[in-house]
Amino acid sequence: MNVRKVKKILISQPKPSSEKSPYYDIAEKFNVEVIFRPFIKVERLTSKEFRQQRINILDFTAIIFTSKTAIDHFFSLCEELKIAIPDTMKYFCISESIALYLQKYIVYRKRKIFFSPTRKIEGLNGAFAKNLKEKFLFPVPEEHNEEFANFLDEKKIDYTKSVMYRTVSNDFEEGETLDCDMMLFFSPIGVASLLKNFPDFEQGDIAIGCFGNTTAKAVEDAGLRLDCKAPQPEYPSMAAALEAFLENNHKAHV
């Protein structure tokens, strides 16, 4: 089936905090409307769910943070469990911006904080080597890859993973509709959210684009047609793939 001329695009992510998003440039270039409507959201585990892991946060002397989300949910859990983190706690962060984000919760200058200058776990190698006696807590989401854990295992770091948050479907409100000509997805959970909220959804001539192989597989497994995919050698980003798609789409509907 041919795709209709795309005039309105639903992007299943939160609205960018900056007006410099490439999606706004694309909207202006092709005279299309972009709507940001997250299909997923991140929620913290309940304190009861956390307790089931039988982890005592105060047994640890250092914490590894790989995202600002992990920081938010860690301190939120501590607050709910009435755990006061000692000033002696050490923090190991995957980037400087994540390390600086700790200022939201602690007095930064009074703590021992390390960060990777390369934004990769290997950049913390020197810091880990000097702190091998520490007992590390590693907050992670429910679904996570093992890249960081494999590195820690390889370096024989004494660490414990703790699931503290998960990604779930962001339910649509009653009466909310899918008024668009194209949808962009960035995770398999986003696709699952579409089917959960609109079990009778029929794609018809609506275009679907996605980022990543696992998301593409989720689209196809759902019996939907994938019209635009990134990354590809010539289109490394979703924005680049979308721009090329719209170029062809609008030419076909002149």
- Report pLDDT digits (tens) over 67-91: 999 999 999 999 999 999 999 999 9
Domain count, the chain: 2
| Mean pLDDT estimate for the chain | 93
Residue 120 reports pLDDT greater than 70: yes
What is the band of 1 on the pLDDT scale with cuts at 50, 70, 90? Answer: low
- 92-108: average pLDDT: 94
Q: Clarify whether residues 116 and 144 are in a common domain.
A: yes
In a domain, 87, yes or no: yes
Here the CATH number for the domain that contains residue 150 is 3.40.50.10090
Same domain, 61 and 163: yes
Q: Report the candidate in 76, 115, 85 with the shortest Cα–Cα distance to residue 97.
A: 115
Is residue 212 pLDDT above 90, yes or no? yes
Q: What share of the chain is helix, strand, coil (3-state, %, to 5)?
A: 35, 20, 40
Q: Is 135 helix (H, G, I), strand (E, B) or coil?
A: coil
pLDDT digits (tens, 9 = 90+) for 18-27: 788 899 999 9
Taking only the tens place, the pLDDT of each residue in 125-184 is 999 999 999 999 999 998 887 889 999 999 999 999 999 999 888 888 887 888 999 999
Q: For residue 213, is it within any domain?
A: no
Q: Find the domain containing 174 and state its range.
A: 11-39+170-178+194-202+236-254
CB atoms under 10 Å from CB of 167, counted, come to 18
Q: Report yes or no on 85 lying in a domain.
A: yes
pTM, 2 dp: 0.73
- Cβ neighbors of 253 (< 8 A, separation 6 or more) are 4, 5
